[in-house]
Structure 1
Amino acid sequence: MQITFLGTSSGVPTRARNVSSIALNLPQRAEVWLFDCGEATQHQLLRCDVKISQIRRIFVTHLHGDHIFGLMGLLATYGMAGSPDRIDIYGPKGLDEYLRACQKYSYTHFNYPIKVHTIEPGVVHQEADFTVTCIPLKHKVPAYGYRVSETDKSGRFNLEKAKELGIPSGPIYGKLKNGEVVTLADGRVINGRDLCGETEIGRKFVYCTDTVFCENSIELAADADVLIHESTFAHEDAEMAFDRLHSTSTMAAQVALGAGAKELILTHFSPRYAPGNPIVLDDLLQAARAIFPQTKMAYDLMTHEIARRIN
């Protein structure tokens, strides 16, 4: 599971940073899930190893332009990238109407199926390997944070040991692989966990933007392996952050600390902290690390691997 940052600026692009978009690459299934799709996201895809043809799901946090203005262009290009499959798009109320209006007035026709899902708090997508949930954040328009939770995987089943114990093959093996307790025909009770290696804990990825500090962010990020959180402002500009309902880097760090996250990656930076200004981005990073040491600062096209944990 790998994250690629396609845009890390807030509001407007800069020479070094595009506006918001993150790609979650799931190589075991040759799929890519996007989170937000700011203007020029498809240009950023051309500059990295993420394949546009593998995009299957797009999760939109809210309907501000720096998070959705690249969506129509990307969807139009997707239809020209070989044999397109269906794309599922998730976002707040109004996203479907926005896309329909863009299609109508640009005379764009998609030659592949698109399904827009209007999200509500709770589970927005679930399958065998992953569950995606969302929760409302605190912003000037309806905005949501997303959590991707991977299903725990049982450790490797010790087939050789099962044979040594004289356990007959068949459906019993399936139950033991799932860690169930099974009573054999001869009366022996076998605990499947004794025949399996250590459980691989499912990875947890959380994306919170745009929002000012709120308890919902902490709830969403509980025990996350990686929390990606907006960091629009410096702590010195906290009053501006509260006024505009965005976060400072110290607010993001407080969320990570309160949630018990393993790692925090800051993104969505205001251009006001460019080099040469009184406060620069490294100041935001150091302030966050003073609260939550396991903090990194994202940059465009940065990749980050989310490693598995063994229980």
Structure 2
Amino acid sequence: MHIHFLGTGAGVPGKERNVSAFALKQINKHGDIWLFDCGEATQHQILHTTIKPRRVKKIFVTHLHGDHIFGLPGFLGSRSFQGGTEPLTVYGPEGIKEYITTSLKLSRTYLKYDLEILEIKDGEIFDEEDFIISVKKLEHVIPSYGYRIQEKDRPGRLNSEKLQQIGIRPGPVYKKLKNGETIEWEGQVINGNDFIEAPVKGRVIAVAGDTRKCIAAVELAKEADIFIHEATFGSENEEMAYDYFHSTAVQAAEVAVAAGVKKLWLTHISARYTEGKEKELLRQAREIMPNSFIAYDLLEEEI
């Protein structure tokens, strides 16, 4: 699984950072891609990556401010124009359905694929094949939601070394044992479960939309492997951050520490932090949460 940041700025596009969007790639065995937010020019950012729009199967919208949704109608249309025919689901706050359907209707954009739009509520949980998706309402000037992507635990590895020690060589019998079946082997009854290692714990990615520092964000990110949190301002602008329902880098780090997060990615960086000034944000965050990093456009990392 990879995370690919497409836009890491706040409010309006800048020379160094486009507005909000990132993708989770290779989300499952099918090679699907999930997109989180879709600010203006997201599809243009995608042109600089290996992302294929037809591979995007789900889009999660945190809230309805323009810097998070103005690229959505264009992306949906381009996905169709470029041969995308597989169904796509959009999740988002109340109003996202009206926004999308009105935009497509008035622009006479006709899709060649089935589009499902689900309006989310606080506390809602979705079971999506290999993942459980949880929704938390955060603190912003309009309804803004965070998403917790919990990968289901994977079956443990079959201990082939242990099997070979008792003389069972690799072959079709391994598949039966991997499935936990019982077999007979040279007069012995062999239970596959005795040779399967502990399940592999699933990874957790928590994604906060625009928000003040709040308890809901801590709950959202509890023991997450990766936490993506806005850091619009530095600590010197803490009062401004509060007034505008945003967070500072320090506040994002404090939430991450309270939640027991393994790695924090700071994004939604104000355009005032350009030409290397964002390093001060990183310094502030690392004083609280050493394993903090600042995202930048087109950065890709394996999870």
TM over 0.5: yes
> SS in structure 1 opposite 2:272?
helix
1:70-149 matched pairs, under 5 angstroms: 70-149=71-150
- Which residue of 285, 288, 300 maps to 2:285? 288
CA shift, 1:125, in A, is: 2.7
Task: Give distance in 2, aligned partners of 1:82 and 1:257.
Answer: 44
CA shift, 1:165, in A, is: 9.2
Question: Per-residue CA shift, 1:8-42, capped at 9, x if unaligned?
Answer: 00000101110000100026321100000000000
Residue 301 of structure 1 is matched in structure 2 by: 298
Indicate whether 1:266 and 2:266 are aligned: yes
What code does the residue aligned with 1:59 have? F
Residue 59 of structure 1 is matched in structure 2 by: 60
> SS in structure 1 opposite 2:180?
helix
Residue 176 of structure 1 is matched in structure 2 by: 180
Residues 19, 108 of structure 1: alpha-carbon distance in 2 compared, 3 angstrom cutoff: same
Residue 200 of structure 1 is matched in structure 2 by: 200
Task: Give distance in 1, aligned partners of 2:275 and 2:31.
Answer: 39
> SS in structure 2 opposite 1:272?
coil
Task: Give distance in 2, aligned partners of 1:14 and 1:161.
Answer: 58
Q: How many residues align structurally?
A: 295
Q: Is the 8 A contact 1:123 1:131 kept in 2?
A: no
Task: Give distance in 2, aligned partners of 1:203 and 1:284.
Answer: 27
CA shift, 1:137, in A, is: 0.4
CA shift, 1:175, in A, is: 6.2
Task: Give distance in 1, aligned partners of 2:128 and 2:107.
Answer: 35
Task: Give distance in 1, aligned partners of 2:221 and 2:295.
Answer: 18
Query: TM-score, normalised on structure 1?
Result: 0.88
Unaligned stretches of 5+ residues in structure 1: 307-311
Task: Give distance in 1, aligned partners of 2:135 and 2:188.
Answer: 47
Residue 309 of structure 1 is matched in structure 2 by: none
CA shift, 1:274, in A, is: 2.1
Q: Is the 8 A contact 2:3 2:301 kept in 1?
A: yes
What code does the residue aligned with 1:245 have? F
Indicate whether 1:211 and 2:211 are aligned: yes
1:142-161 matched pairs, under 5 angstroms: 142-158=143-159, 161=162
Question: Percent of aligned pairs with the same residue?
Answer: 43
What code does the residue aligned with 1:87 have? L
